[in-house]
Homo-oligomer: A and B are copies of this chain.
Amino acid sequence: MLKASVIGATGYAGVELCRILLTHPQANIHRLSSVSFTGKAISEVYPALRGLCDERLVSEDEAIDGADVVFASLPAGLSEPIARKCLQAGALFIDLGADFRLHDPDTYESWYQKKYEDPELHGQAVYALPELFREEIEGARLIGNPGCYPTSVALGLAPALKGGLIGSEDLIIDAKSGATGAGRGLSQTTHFCECNEGFAPYKVACHRHTPEIEQTLSILAGEPAAVTFVPHLLPVSRGIVSTIYAKLKGGASLPEVRQRYLDFYESAPFVRVLPEGEVSNLRNVRCSNYCDISLHLDAHTGRLIVVSAIDNMVKGAAGQAVQNMNIALGLDETAGLLFVPPAI
């Protein structure tokens, strides 16, 4: 069994990693680290885990020591030293944060007000969206796990962009995320009484996931892509729905577009292209690693509308990280990830 450690295990993505690793057939939880709760059992912080995972929280270094795989889910700017230690120790490092996602150091600096200290390290990192970059992930040792919004958007647009069905300019992404996306930290925005029965956009056209989205879309399109990206906070715990608007080029019909998507995702076990007439609903992907994609045509205005739904905590974070671990280490891509989403 692989020994997997989680750094930042008491954050929401961290504890979701624990949930997934607990039933992974080829990996065990090695150690869990936390700065705020060192010494406590993780099940004291998350009583849902009582009896299933009563591991004591240790320091970062203890977590790395002896691990085959190290996952880190930390605020921006903290992952470089951990990555170095893991590489030295021969462990696969998978970063769920933002530090190894952007290829261009200047873009990182301008959006995160931090610098890449060790550019050479970043040269080894793979941006690991498995459905698009599987080959680069195989055998990788340093993995930047994509952001939640960028995952939903890239999967929603890849077949159309790559196939030239739509242009790469004039893309509008209206995204909606559940409150786990804002993390475990306390804020007025996620106070129950201020989130419940509310709905609003935030960071309108200035969210940090914008450059990450554009990076991937540009690769797919083979030319610079520019998006208008507006995230909103949904009063639900989990899930992202991205509604994406693009101008259709050429006269592809909806069945033709859909066929391209089916072909593109033929060997992608976690993408479900829905039948015509259905819509992606975040209910249907909760607690699962699926990305549901529904396709719609506004004949009236010649627009393709793509609705992409994922669980931000799974396909948008912890599940995708485990999928990346599986691919990097040559395991079955779906190992430990075939949870059935609750129908209700």
Contacts and interface: CB of A to CB of B under 8 A. Distances in A.
Interface of A: 12, 15-16, 18-19, 22-23, 46-53, 170, 172, 174, 176, 179-180, 184, 186-188, 190-202, 204-205, 210, 226-228, 230, 232, 234-239, 241, 243, 245, 272, 274, 278-288, 290, 292, 296-301, 303, 305, 307, 309, 313, 338-344
A281 B197 contact: no
Contacts of A15: 343-344
A307 B204 contact: yes
B190 A340 contact: no
B198 A283 contact: yes
A48 B186 contact: no
A191 B191 CA distance: 5
A295 to B, nearest CB: 10
A296 B187 contact: no
Given A179-B192, A191-B186, A279-B204, A197 B237 contact: yes
Contacts of A12: 193, 344
Contacts of A305: 204-205, 228, 230
A259 to B, nearest CB: 18
A243 B340 contact: no
Given A226-B301, A301-B226, A287 B284 contact: no
A333 to B, nearest CB: 15
A296 B313 CA distance: 29
B194 A344 contact: yes
Nearest to A236: B197
Contacts of A53: 340
Contacts of A200: 241, 279-283, 307, 309
Given A298-B228, A301-B227, A188 B186 contact: yes
A195 B305 CA distance: 22
Contacts of A205: 296-300, 303, 305
A198 B236 contact: yes
A281 B198 contact: yes
Contacts of A303: 172, 205, 228
B281 A313 contact: no
Contact of A195 (B18, B51, B192, B274): B192
21 contacts: A47-B281, A53-B340, A180-B344, A186-B186, A186-B188, A191-B192, A198-B236, A200-B309, A201-B243, A201-B279, A201-B280, A202-B279, A204-B279, A204-B296, A205-B297, A205-B299, A205-B300, A228-B303, A230-B305, A234-B234, A238-B344
